[in-house]
Structure formats: structure tokens, C-alpha cells
Structure 1
Amino acid sequence: MQAKTWVLVSARLVIIHRTHSRRHNTMVVLSSEDDSRELLQAHVELWNQTYSFMKSVALAVALDLRIADAIHRCGGTATLSQILGEIGVSPCKHASLRRLMRVLTVSGTFDIQPSSAPAGTTSSESDGHEPVYKLTTASCLLVSSNSGGESLATASMSPMLNHVLSPFRDSTLSMGLTAWFRHDEDEQCPFTLMHGATLWEVSEHDDAVNASVNNALAADSHFLMQVVLKEFSEIFHGIDSLIDVAGGLGGAAMAIAAAFPSLKCTVLDLPHVVATAPSIFIGNVQFVAGDMFESIPPAKACLNKSLSI
């Protein structure tokens, strides 16, 4: 088996590495002389605005699952395991509930007291060492009048918030999220449970979805490769062949090939994606239809533009 160099290029990782936290109150007109750091800062701002609605999605799910009621019934504090038991959700959703609660604690809806587990142990080893989640003033307003716990003096805002948050339940990214939490299996993602197929399977049969996904990924590649080739071009030195795994329409590979004409680039993606590629062979860029989970053609380096961990 031929050894490969794995080049992991993630827009999110590069942003974390290259971006400072400074903000600008004046309008910035971008030019060719702009520093990559400024571009990445702008990139961060746009992603922050784009995903800001996830706080509303998380709040809507918390209302649907009645998490505030669950914590209230436990006396105002509860571990993840206790919350799961109170809301009737399978223990297989423990990690996913932790992620949901992370959003809700960062936004201030709930508070968290870190685990006091001894060094060398994990929260999964003992319920007594799990982080404890607490009601805040904000989440006290989410406790319903029929929560089952001790009556609170404050009136519940849940009915009003449920009404206002209705549009967020219909978002492409959040649709079916509550149903997924209540589903006893963890193999399927929320999108698959709702649509009966993965996003990639849907795009294979829906031309509009396929075009939207490919155009989005191509735009991301076009932006990212400008920065990568300017700031990290040394990672491509000494490589004579590279395969872009799940490379879509080849935007990243073509940018690399243009910067390094002697580097032979191959784009691997699913057949329905390659079918819409500009050409099967462009200069030193070649497109190959296949499944990366079955086989990856040989090359000295493999490129993964984005990884979800």
C-alpha cells in the first residue's frame, strides 16, 4: 500500500489559527493588498451571523423537550443523565444532549458547574462526577406551570416563545431535531431521519439540491484556496501527485494545479457530482468517479478541505 501524506485543510481550523479577535467599526474596502488575516476575520464575521440562528434552534428544542421542567423537577440542578431520564430520551443521545446544552449554557439559558471528577477519570465513569446544569433566571421563565416540581413565583414564557420560535423548527438544519432526540437509535442524523435519505443521496436524485450543494462548496473552495496558497503553499512542495477527496467540481484542485503546474491533481467524488464537473480532464486536473469509503486512487498526498469532528 502506497504511503500518502494527508493534507487536512479546514476553513474553520485555518480561521482559528490565523485570526485575531479584534473588531472594526469602520467600513473596509477589500483590495488585492489586503492581508489574509483581514479576509479571514471577515469570513468569521459572516459565519457568526449565518449560524447565529442556531441559538434560537437550540432554545426551540429545549422547549420541545421541556429541559427546564426536567431540571426544575430535580430541584433546580441536574446532570445530563438525570435530564435524559426526566425527558424520556434514550441514553444513546447523551453526547448529543451535551452539545445542545453547550449551546444553551454559552447563550446563558442554563448554567453549568464543571465536573469535580478526580484526575484520570471521565464523566462517563460515575454519574457523581458529571457536570451539573442549573436553572438561571432566564430558564426559570421556561418552566411551565404544570412542570410537576415546586411552584415558581414567575410566570412561564414558554407558550409565547414556542409561538415565536415556530419558524426555526422548519429550518433545513433544524427540521426534525426534536423528533431525532426522541428516536431511540443514534445511527441516523436528523436530516436522514426526516427525509429518509442522507443529503448526498437526496442530491443524487434532485438536480436543484445537487447544484446548490456543489455551488456552495465551490465558493468555499475558491475563497479558502486563496488563503491556503498564499500562506501555506509550502505544504505542496515536493509533491508530484495529489488527490482531492470529495473534491466536488474541482475548485480546490484547479487552484492548486494552477499554482503548481508540475503537480498532477485528481478529484475524487461521487458519480453524479463528477457528471456535472467542467470536464473529465483539464490540464493537470483529472476527475474520477468513486466512493472514498470504498477506495481512494493512489497519490503522494490526499487533500481533505473540511472535516467535521
Structure 2
Amino acid sequence: MDSAEERLKGQEEIWVHMFAFVDSMALKCAVELGIPDIINSHGRSVTMSEIIDSLKTTTSSSSFPDADYLTRIMRLLVRNRVFASKFDQESNQVCYDLTPSSKWLLKDSEFNLSPFILAELEPLLLKPWQYMATCVKEGGFPFKKAHGYEIWDFALANPTFNRLFNNGMRCTAEIIINAVLVNYKDGFDGIGSLVDVGGGTGAMITEIVKANPHIRGINFDRPHVIAAAPVHPAIMHVGGDMFADIPKADAIIMKWIMHDWGDEDCVKILKNCYKAIPKTKNGKLIIVDCILQPNGDGPFDKTGLAFDLLMMAHASGGKERTEAEWKLLLNNAGFPRYNIIQIPSIPSIIEAFTE
């Protein structure tokens, strides 16, 4: 039988898990209000009065921002180390400052996770989570049960959602491609042409070509996605369907694409990749995706498990995979060997070779 101390610890943990969503909502609130940028604009720690004054200049409402509400929200975010606080004796007020966490939320920083936060915590993307238990019992996909469409068709029919979703994907692409370029820079040697399958608006392929001007870049995605892609002289935007055909090139790269799909669909995509890549020593597929470590203690291992459930909620059969699961998919698609390269990010790099 559990001791009284163990039962109390168990109760404590359940309360924490139950209200984990509060942390997310407080974080979203700070991003929506632009609190990190307000603090950063002063170049120093700021008082609540200064934050409120800044908010007054950005609101069109005749009412005043509620300092009590924001103070309570900031108290939780300070506890969560999103912001720092200290009591200033001179002003007799609490002053707030940025932390290494909130510096990832600045709109003018090189890497900014705010668009991803706003996308993932958008009510349209939160609704499918309410259908998880239903799908466990009955099957089906949470997003489709919530909205009547799969996420890609929903984005096609809803331009505002499509823009929000693309912005979220773009900001993660910028962070991940930086990790790829720093830790895999030799991996692009000998590649004359590179297709980014599911490349969105072209953020990743553009950065790769900038760093490797010898590469001719092809950004490949669904027509409605590339319609919003900016023009770049070294990038060709091609609309199409990766389940039907993929443009031929020396190599193919896919970032966070495979985890959107179930095993059967992934094999179809991988077989099309195999057809598009030359059967030479330089022909390869570069997959930038998560490799699950269910019992790992690395900095992103728990986040990987969270992403796995995110795929369940939003994608039609999508999931994150262990190395053994990746090996099976690649072998079933014709790739006889692969190599894993760890990078300081949620995903890793999987190089798959045609021979």
C-alpha cells in the first residue's frame, strides 16, 4: 500500500498535469499582448506601470488595460521562468525583465517562436484535442471530427487559418534550418539540385541555397501553399502532389513532413522520393524529423512525445517514430541504408541512401 507521503505526491502531480493548460494560455496571452517586445524596447527591466502605458498606445479601445489581471499573469510566468522579476527599492515597484526563454518570443529576433505559439494555441487547433478519447474508442482523426475536414483541406478553404498555420511553420523552419546548416554543412557538398518536399513558402530551401549557392533549389508543395511563396531568383516553386510525383533532383530534403502521415502514406511518399533521386553515391534523401526516445532524458525527448500526440490530434494518422520504425519505413521504400546525425533541436537528420 502506498504511504501517505506517496499518495500526497500523487495528488500533487495530478493537479500539476490538470492545469498544465494554464501555463500555455498565460504564455499565449503574453505573446498576444507583446509583453516580451515591450520589455525589450526599454532596454532594461520595466515596471508594471510602464508595461501598462505601452499597452495603452497599442489598443484602440476606450477602456484601460487591467493592471491587476496582467500582474497575476506575470506572476505565473515569472514562476515558470518565462520572465524574471525583482523588487526595485527606488520606485517601490516590481520590475520585470526578459529571460533566455522570453528572448525566443521577440518579434525582431533572428529566431522567434511566437508565431508557432499563436498557431498551436489557436482555438481551431485546440478543438481537436477534445476528441482524443472519442477517437481512441471509435477510430478516426480528431481534427476531422472537430471540423469535418482534414487539416490540409481545411487550410485550403480558410485563408486566414492557412496564413496563421504557414507563419507558425515558417518560424520553426528558420530555427531548425539554422541547426541543420551549422551541424550538417558538409552534407550539401556535391549536390547540384535539391527539392524541398512540403517546403511551404520556401523558407528552408531559400536558406540552404543562400549558404550553398552551387545548389539549384526547388520548393515543392501544394499549389495553394506555394501561391503565397515569395519570389527568389535561385528557387523554383513547383506545385503538385507528393503522393503522385516528386520533381527529380540530386537530393531531396523533407522537414517535419513524414510525421504528418501514417506508415502506409509515408511509404508512398518515400517510394516517390526513391524514384526522383539518381542511383549514384550522391543521390540521397535528407529527412529532418523527430526520432523518439521514449525513455530518454535529452533536452527535447519529452517534447518529442508531446509532438507525437500533436500529430495524433492534427494530422490524419501522423506520428513521431523511433529509430526502429524509421528503419522499417525506409527499407520498405527501397532505401537499403541510412545514417542518423543529431542536431541541437527537436528533430534529427536521417540520411537515406539509394544504394
| TM-score normalised per structure 1 | 0.44
Q: Which has the larger radius of gyration?
A: 1
Structure number with the bigger relative contact order (C-alpha 8 A, sep ≥ 6) is: 1
| TM-score normalised per structure 2 | 0.39
